[in-house]
Structure 1
Amino acid sequence: MMLKALALNCTLKPDPEQTSSTDAMIAVLGKAFAKKGVALTETVRVAGLNIKSGVTSDEGDGDDWPALRAKILAHDIVIFGSPIWLGQISSVAKRVLERMDAFLGETDDHGRMPSYGRLAVTAIVGNEDGAHYACAQLFQALNDVGWTIPSIAACYWVGEAMGSTDFKDLTETPRIIAKTASMVAGNAAHLASLLKQSPYPG
């Protein structure tokens, strides 16, 4: 049974042609997932969409969230990518989380939110300390709105404090990053496969 993953790149750069360290980290995870039989179908540059502020699944004319929401829920795994800004996840990432708040009121007859049985992992990059805090922000919020977080679900890189090297500028992927990506992909693929066969009862 082929599993599908969708990546959300929550960089502040709206143009997909602009290079992004978050894209580079997502690519590392994409390769690791491919080796585990999971297809990364697309990386969405969220800042390039008109995701309106609000906490419903449709904020009216011109809102791109309904289409993105449908795309997200058509996948088994979401790779939630975010850079670290001011020690936190990006404002774009927070906007996505806020829109997922609607899941709380969209339960089925068994009390299951639309995200039930789907997994979320993170791809975090930054040039300062804060990766653990960024993951904590994402994991708590995503779990609140029904996502399953597998064991070892974070792949991150932070450069030297006050340094100027970005992840996308590295000449090769650090060994520990590749090792972690493989573990993230393996654990997520395993758990997603189990949940697909045996969904949460609610």
Structure 2
Amino acid sequence: MTLKALAINCTLKSDPAEPSSTDAMIAVLAKAFAERDVEITETVRVAELNVLPGVTSNEGEGDDWPGLREKILAHDILVFGGPIWMGQIGSVAKRVLERMDAFLDETDDQGRMPSYGKVAVAAIVGNEDGAHFSSAQLFQSLNDVGWTIPAVAACYWVGEAMGSIDFKDLDKTPEKVTKTARMVAGNAAHLAGLLKTSPYPG
């Protein structure tokens, strides 16, 4: 069975030429997914787009969310990447979650949201603290709007308190991160395959 994943990078950096630790973490997961024959077809840097504030699927002229929404829903797995800022997931990630609120009113005749049968995992980076709180924010919100969260669904790294080293600046990926990435990818691929074969009944 062919499964496809899309990664969204919710870094606050809008310039695609500017290095992002979130991209570095997504790359670790991409390698782990490839071992499961799951391709991350693209990484979308959300801050490059004009995703307007709101809670509908189209907020009017100039809104780039409809195109991103279409890409997200065309895949079996969403890799939701984002940085920790001030101990919580960053504002760009929250904008994406707010726009997914529209799924609640976009159900099919069985009451299923467009995200039903699709799996979401997290890629989180930052210094000091906040990885568990950020994944809790993400997973609760994503589950509310129909995404399925597998066991061990977050791959994260946090640097030392008051430190200045970012994940992208490490000489090598920590073994624990690589091991966790393999668990995330394996569980997500397994669950996505099951849901593709046997969708939720609604």
Distance 2:197 2:176 in 1: 32
Distance 2:39 2:124 in 1: 20
How do 1:56-135 residues align onto structure 2 when only pairs under 5 Å count?
56-135=56-135
The reply on whether 1:18 has 2:28 as its aligned counterpart is no
Q: CA deviation at 1:2?
A: 1.1
TM-score, reference length from structure 2: 0.99
Q: Residue in 2 aligned with 1:161?
A: 161
How big is each residue's C-alpha offset from its partner over 1:145-178, in whole Å with a ceiling of 9 and x where there is no partner?
0000000000000000110000000011100000
Paired residues in the alignment total 202
TM-score, reference length from structure 1: 0.99
Q: Residue in 2 aligned with 1:192?
A: 192
- Runs of at least 4 residues of structure 1 off by over 3 A? none
Q: CA deviation at 1:181?
A: 0.1
How do 1:165-176 residues align onto structure 2 when only pairs under 5 Å count?
165-176=165-176
Secondary structure of 1:182's match? Answer: helix
Distance 1:13 1:164 in 2: 17
Secondary structure of 1:125's match? Answer: strand
Distance 2:168 2:122 in 1: 17
Q: Residue in 2 aligned with 1:180?
A: 180
Distance 1:182 1:56 in 2: 35
Q: What one-letter code is carried by the residue in structure 1 that aligns with 2:57?
A: S
Distance 2:166 2:98 in 1: 28
Q: What one-letter code is carried by the residue in structure 2 that aligns with 1:25?
A: M
Q: What one-letter code is carried by the residue in structure 1 that aligns with 2:3?
A: L
Q: Residue in 2 aligned with 1:30?
A: 30
Distance 1:2 1:197 in 2: 11
Secondary structure of 1:42's match? Answer: strand
Q: CA deviation at 1:128?
A: 1.4
Q: Structure 2: which 5+ residue stretches go unaligned?
A: none
The reply on whether 1:40 has 2:37 as its aligned counterpart is no
Distance 1:2 1:161 in 2: 42
How big is each residue's C-alpha offset from its partner over 1:26-68, in whole Å with a ceiling of 9 and x where there is no partner?
0000000000010100000000000000000000001000000
Q: CA deviation at 1:89?
A: 0.5
Secondary structure of 1:189's match? Answer: helix
How big is each residue's C-alpha offset from its partner over 1:87-127, in whole Å with a ceiling of 9 and x where there is no partner?
01110000000000000000001100000000000000001
Q: Structure 1: which 5+ residue stretches go unaligned?
A: none
Distance 1:162 1:117 in 2: 41
